[in-house]
């Protein structure tokens, strides 16, 4: 029996008169890659933003690893163990790759402002540990050779990997990736797929939004399909891809 990591029930989110999420319930099991797909405007990003604390849902419930995260702000969500990347890469462009990962790591450090000013031994030791961990993560995502390059000078594919390393630096239980393959060529996408599988196999649960349905079908353990703010299907890829409601949503057949 799978262990549930994240569970939402009856989530509603409205923007004025627009019902962006309508009574959506789903759960993500520990150790799986869970995908969210759906046509443009279906509510995927809205759901992602609700699950990472950026949007406050109107109604429903949201629990994560035993914590109640309903309406919790982003910093509480991160501390609880959910880390995310953004569709539009958000790195510190003037900082090096290594420094970007070290910033992500500080959320799990204990160093305080006084320690940083005094530069005492405990602070220096902690900084060294943060740097060592950042190197380990750069190696893990395969970009240690550009550790001292500024983020803005990295290739697109490397920037995406750096974002993942920075998110992993917070030691998440759930890594939420917003369109990580956007703009990638087929070989970059293939190696990104392998990285996501490695992350899952390393014990971090993965939540993914992605437009590349073929990639999602080949990668995800389970998939939920949103359409007009409603969950219309959920399950293993082989079943979801044959679901008439999913086919209809993607073929754009008129809705009643």
Per CB under 6 A, residues contacting ligand ATP are 15, 18, 20, 38, 40-46
Judged by DSSP in three states, 2 sits in coil
Residue number with CB closer to ligand ATP (43 or 60): 43
Q: How far is the CB of 58 from ligand ATP (least distance, A)?
A: 13
Q: How far is the CB of 226 from ligand ATP (least distance, A)?
A: 6
Residue number with CB closer to ligand ATP (36 or 204): 36
What is the full DSSP assignment across 50-107? Answer: HHTTSS--SEEEEEETTEE-TT--HHHHHHHTEEE--SS----TTSBHHHHHHHHHGG
**Separation between Cα atoms, residue 106 and residue 154, nearest integer Å:** 23
Q: How far is the CB of 45 from ligand ATP (least distance, A)?
A: 3
Residue number with CB closer to ligand ATP (85 or 100): 85
* Among candidate residues 227, 209, 229, 228, the one with its CA nearest the CA of residue 219: 209
Residue number with CB closer to ligand ATP (204 or 225): 225
Q: How far is the CB of 137 from ligand ATP (least distance, A)?
A: 28
Q: How far is the CB of 139 from ligand ATP (least distance, A)?
A: 33
* Among candidate residues 204, 222, 213, 168, the one with its CA nearest the CA of residue 35: 222
**Separation between Cα atoms, residue 194 and residue 225, nearest integer Å:** 23
Residue number with CB closer to ligand ATP (126 or 178): 178
Strand partners, 34: 207, 222
């Amino acid at each position: 029996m799978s262990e549930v990591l994240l569970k939402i029930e009856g989530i509603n989110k409205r923007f004025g008169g627009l019902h962006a999420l309508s009574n959506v319930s789903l759960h993500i099991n520990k150790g799986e890659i869970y995908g969210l797909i759906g046509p443009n405007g279906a509510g995927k990003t809205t759901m992602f933003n609700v699950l990472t604390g950026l949007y406050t849902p109107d109604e429903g419930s949201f629990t994560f690893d035993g914590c109640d995260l309903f309406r919790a702000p982003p910093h509480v969500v991160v501390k609880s163990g959910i880390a995310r990347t953004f569709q539009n890469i958000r790195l510190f462009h003037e900082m090096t790759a290594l420094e970007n990962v070290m910033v992500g790591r500080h959320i799990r450090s204990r160093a305080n402002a006084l320690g940083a000013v005094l530069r005492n031994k405990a602070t220096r030791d902690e900084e060294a540990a943060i740097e060592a961990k950042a190197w380990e993560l750069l190696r893990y995502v395969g970009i240690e050779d550009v550790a001292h390059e500024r983020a803005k000078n990295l290739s697109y594919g490397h920037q995406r990997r750096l974002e993942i390393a920075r998110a992993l630096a917070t030691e998440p239980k759930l890594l939420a990736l917003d369109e990580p393959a956007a703009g990638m060529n087929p070989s970059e996408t293939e190696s990104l797929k392998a990285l996501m599988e490695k992350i899952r196999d390393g014990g971090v649960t993965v939540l993914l939004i992605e437009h590349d349905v073929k990639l999602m079908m080949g990668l995800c353990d389970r998939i939920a399909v949103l359409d007009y703010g409603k969950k219309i299907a959920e399950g293993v890829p082989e079943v979801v891809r044959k679901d008439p409601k999913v086919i209809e949503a993607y073929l754009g057949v008129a809705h009643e």
